[in-house]
Structure 1
Amino acid sequence: MSRTAVRPHVVIVGAGFAGFQAARTLSRLTRGRTDITLLNPTDYFLYLPLLPQVAAGVLEPRRVTVSLAGALRHVRLVLGEADRIDLTRRAVHYADPEGQDGELSYDRLVLAVGSVNKLLPVPGVAEHAHGFRGLPEALYLRDHVTRQIELAAAADDASVCRARCTFVVVGAGYTGVEVAAHGELFTRSLVRRQPLRTGIEPRWVLLDIAPRVLPELDRRLSATADRVLRRRGVEVRTETSVKEATREGVLLSDGDHLPTRTLLWCVGVRPDPLVAGIGSALERGRLLVDPFLNVPDHPEVFACGDAAAVPDLTAKGQYTAMTAQHAWRQGKTAGHNVAASLGLGRRRSYRHHDLGFTVDLGGVSGAANPLGVPLSGPLAGAVTRGYHLAAMPGNRVRVAADWLLDAVLPRQGVQLGLVRSWSVPLDTASPETARVAGAPERTRDAAAERTGDE
């Protein structure tokens, strides 16, 4: 009488770039010989690079999401958010969307929990600023910007009108630059149908403490982005930061005060606070792993993406940057190495050379350096959109159709009111989900108290 073999159980926490790719790779390699469970707060993979286009009305929200159940046919999806990892018991504790607790046991664990908004101790920022890490924040911003233009057009007081149509973006990295570029085009389209008072136009201000925009990229890409932004009228103010934020405006480090009702916080990201409570070594909040993405002393645990400090084998002594490009490829490596640990194939170390970067500046403009070749203008814009279409794991036709429609039809300037301001607080460890009235909220301090990080 034959005995039925027990299939190993792999749990993947997080379905961002790293987690999605790890699940897809592992599913393909194991071909049903392994039980794979994916734990994620939402039922979709979010293609983050196109989020600014959602906020600006270019793309509809579902265009930048890919159904996990549809894309990962042989992977079991569990909706929930991990709040504790027990390495001794090999268990992941989580809370589902309705607040019920659950637990998943594992033989192999892949941590791909990603990152959340990075906060700085600036008075008033947590109360009055909004981040840009999830779909709810993009939907809120689209409604908020539309509402401010509508209220500005109806305002009797010129100073109120100016304040409402002034938009301040803090952080001139990828996200900040793209939000400002798309936001300026969006507000320009809105005022065509709802003109403001004579002599008043939408004002976009982009701030950064660095000496130039896109400080992490090649200077030629930085110069191209700076030139496009300034040509459109965006005020680029480098070596400047926010000193204090209030409901009526922001005080800058140079002493200038900007009356505004909109403060967007795009200063960067930090690792999800969940990894701080695991009890393993950290590198600036990221879980230290070896070149094979294994957590030291726990060969059954792998980590990848923004929450993992992965040694950069192309730059001795450094760790890979927290980018989607690295997360996507680390997820693939993690999938291969988990399969290898189960006797399927050989494990491999993570090594990746940058293939170049693309920055979408809205309209037909862009900045790119594919394979190190600097491009600007419409050609860079075409390369950028081509790259996104190739990189997306789904919805390519729908995205291309929205781009075509945006090129020939005016944007719909309406606010739906689906996401309220209090639903998307800046200080949250769950930017991928909107806060629900009465539900407990994972904040930086709450997470730190549970993990003993602070």
Structure 2
Amino acid sequence: MNTRHVLIAGGGYVGMYTAFRLQKALRKELKRGEVTITIVDPRSYMTYQPFLPEAAAGNLEPRHVVVSLRAVLPRVKVITGRIVSVDHANRTARIEPRAGDVYDLGYDELVVALGSVARTLPIPGLAQHGIGFKQVEEAIQLRNHVLDRLDVAESTTSEAVRQRALSFVFVGGGYAGVEALAELEDMARYACRYYENVRPEDMRWVLVEAADRILPEVGEDMGRYTVRALRERGIDVKLGTLLESCVDGKVILSDGSSFESDTIVWTAGVKANPVLAETDLPRDKQGRVRTEPDLRVVGVEHAWAAGDSAAVPDLTGPPGALTSPSAQHAVRQAKVLGDNVARSLRGKLLQDYRHKHVGSVASLGLHKGVAQVYGIKLKGWLAWFMHRTYHVSRMPTFNRKTRIVADWTLRLFFHREIVSLGSLQRPREEFERSALPRQVPPAAPEDREPQRLGTGGN
């Protein structure tokens, strides 16, 4: 018996949902051993990225915005590791597992769903001090970090340390940057009621965007409204501005302003996964795999691609148009891709991917949002509610949908959680303190008056 092996490179939304559709469509073939499916990803779970801002703000339990690949794909082999190169001419992918030696894995059908990575620039200090916002680990770290900075500001006697701790910079005015900033500012503003010496007006929140507008996906009018809404909350929105340096936390902007900050979040765009450069598949100028409308790789047999790593023709747009790298397209492309791979294995006709972008929604914090759907512009509570409704409907599995709705429901009756678990990033710190010889800080000079914290309240 000639078993067909389908290799799915990437376990994000496209990769996971393609495997899920294949698992369902090829149930009989999998049971008879005629087809095997393998999915490879550095993480053993899929992260639903549109919910990361809410997870960072504490509105959702972080575990509820991820889906275990092994739990939802019982008939699929899951390899936790990285694909470092692909030789499609010889149907071979090189795998770097989490531990152990690199090895080659053969396949018959290849699905490229590697997604995108943060598009960084050679800005001095960015690699050392910047924080990304594409994975659930980064959302958890950022939440803990922001709350930890409030603790630092409450406890220090140094005004310079206090101002640095209470300065938060977000670079990038797309979905990720605006939603993350808005949700975290909302959370931090709420948390201030539990601090004696930290008030909302003490914090400095800055959004830096190189273009002259933010959130282009929701239209120019809604973008201008968002700028006004953020500025009314005291957020400093700097348009047409670049981050020039952040060495040692000193932020220098192209408008001539400079200040110190412990928090520099980089959300200024994404790029195709650089692993694609290590393949023999055709790519466009942006490094994405070029596909036909039915999601087959252009000019290559037995290779497929979708999502942020693919340049997919937009049949609803003008000639030459490509679909945008959005969750809306990824959700639908994954379903067509899974069905088409199954059809191909059975020798059936394929279907083209065709979806007209219906609009976009964005959250700006609790009960605040903007949206433009089918040409209708919405803002405030209704847009926020639409954002939640749409994304929970796209969250994979009934289990996760239920847990997310339960999280939201509980938030109606209980206060926000504002506990900082910063020790998660430093789990051995206390043990090391116990194991190493104790060092007592030098005493203050005798003529120095004892420092006292301020007594300002809310």
Gap change, CA 1:197 and 1:25, over 3 Å in 2: closer
Structure 1 residue 342: Cα displacement: 1.1
Q: Kindly indicate whether the alpha-carbon contact (under 8 Å) linking 2:192 and 2:199 is maintained by their aligned counterparts in 1.
A: no
Corresponding residue of 2:416: 411
1:324 maps onto 2:327 in alignment: yes
Q: What are the equivalent positions in structure 2 for 1:111-130 lying under 5 Å apart?
A: 111-130=112-131
Q: Kindly indicate whether the alpha-carbon contact (under 8 Å) linking 1:128 and 1:245 is maintained by their aligned counterparts in 2.
A: yes
State the Cα deviation string for residues 225-257 of structure 1 (Å, max 9, x = none): 223322222111111111111223200001100
Corresponding residue of 2:445: none
Q: What are the equivalent positions in structure 2 for 1:11-90 lying under 5 Å apart?
A: 11-33=7-29, 34-90=35-91
State the Cα deviation string for residues 338-358 of structure 1 (Å, max 9, x = none): 122212532122221012211
1:190 maps onto 2:191 in alignment: yes
Q: What are the equivalent positions in structure 2 for 1:236-385 lying under 5 Å apart?
A: 236-283=237-284, 284-313=286-315, 314-343=317-346, 345-385=348-388
1:169 maps onto 2:174 in alignment: no
Corresponding residue of 1:399: 404
Structure 1 residue 151: Cα displacement: 0.4
AA partner of residue 402 (structure 1):
D
Structure 1 residue 177: Cα displacement: 0.5
AA partner of residue 393 (structure 1):
P
AA partner of residue 9 (structure 2):
V
State the Cα deviation string for residues 374-408 of structure 1 (Å, max 9, x = none): 11111111111111111111311211121122233
Cα distance in 1, alignment partners of residues 101 and 140 from structure 2: 27
AA partner of residue 163 (structure 1):
R
Structure 1 residue 303: Cα displacement: 1.2
Structure 1 residue 419: Cα displacement: 5.1
Gap change, CA 1:325 and 1:419, over 3 Å in 2: farther
Q: Kindly indicate whether the alpha-carbon contact (under 8 Å) linking 1:30 and 1:344 is maintained by their aligned counterparts in 2.
A: no
Q: Kindly indicate whether the alpha-carbon contact (under 8 Å) linking 2:367 and 2:384 is maintained by their aligned counterparts in 1.
A: yes
AA partner of residue 263 (structure 1):
I
AA partner of residue 14 (structure 1):
G
Q: What are the equivalent positions in structure 2 for 1:70-219 lying under 5 Å apart?
A: 70-196=71-197, 201-219=202-220
Gap change, CA 1:248 and 1:46, over 3 Å in 2: closer
Q: Kindly indicate whether the alpha-carbon contact (under 8 Å) linking 1:272 and 1:307 is maintained by their aligned counterparts in 2.
A: yes
Structure 1 residue 363: Cα displacement: 0.7
Q: Report the structure number with the largest CA radius of gyration.
A: 2
Gap change, CA 1:381 and 1:272, over 3 Å in 2: same
Cα distance in 1, alignment partners of residues 377 and 45 from structure 2: 34
Structure 1 residue 412: Cα displacement: 2.4
AA partner of residue 343 (structure 1):
R
Cα distance in 2, alignment partners of residues 218 and 311 from structure 1: 22
Secondary structure of the structure 1 residue equivalent to 2:421: coil
AA partner of residue 19 (structure 1):
G
Gap change, CA 1:100 and 1:139, over 3 Å in 2: farther
Secondary structure of the structure 1 residue equivalent to 2:2: coil
Structure 1 residue 157: Cα displacement: 2.0
AA partner of residue 403 (structure 2):
R
TM-score (normalised: structure 1): 0.87
After the TM superposition, which segments of 4 or more aligned residues of structure 1 sit over 6 Å from their partners? none
Cα distance in 1, alignment partners of residues 424 and 266 from structure 2: 18
Cα distance in 2, alignment partners of residues 196 and 248 from structure 1: 23
AA partner of residue 20 (structure 1):
M
Out of 244-253 and 176-185, give the one that drifted further: 244-253
Q: Kindly indicate whether the alpha-carbon contact (under 8 Å) linking 2:84 and 2:278 is maintained by their aligned counterparts in 1.
A: no
Gap change, CA 1:197 and 1:63, over 3 Å in 2: closer
Cα distance in 2, alignment partners of residues 316 and 298 from structure 1: 22
AA partner of residue 125 (structure 2):
G
Cα distance in 1, alignment partners of residues 278 and 233 from structure 2: 46
TM-score (normalised: structure 2): 0.87
Secondary structure of the structure 1 residue equivalent to 2:153: helix
AA partner of residue 316 (structure 1):
P
**Identity rate of aligned residues, in percent?**
37
Out of 164-173 and 354-363, give the one that drifted further: 354-363
Q: Kindly indicate whether the alpha-carbon contact (under 8 Å) linking 1:162 and 1:200 is maintained by their aligned counterparts in 2.
A: no
AA partner of residue 301 (structure 1):
A
Q: Kindly indicate whether the alpha-carbon contact (under 8 Å) linking 2:116 and 2:271 is maintained by their aligned counterparts in 1.
A: yes
AA partner of residue 343 (structure 2):
A
Corresponding residue of 1:436: none
Secondary structure of the structure 2 residue equivalent to 1:104: strand
- Listed as ranges, the gaps of 5+ residues in structure 1 are 422-454
Q: Kindly indicate whether the alpha-carbon contact (under 8 Å) linking 1:41 and 1:81 is maintained by their aligned counterparts in 2.
A: yes
Cα distance in 2, alignment partners of residues 375 and 176 from structure 1: 20
How many residues align? The count is 417
AA partner of residue 320 (structure 2):
G
Q: Kindly indicate whether the alpha-carbon contact (under 8 Å) linking 1:32 and 1:74 is maintained by their aligned counterparts in 2.
A: no
Cα distance in 1, alignment partners of residues 137 and 383 from structure 2: 29
Secondary structure of the structure 1 residue equivalent to 2:352: coil
Cα distance in 1, alignment partners of residues 104 and 390 from structure 2: 39
**RMSD (CA atoms):** 1.8
Cα distance in 2, alignment partners of residues 45 and 109 from structure 1: 19
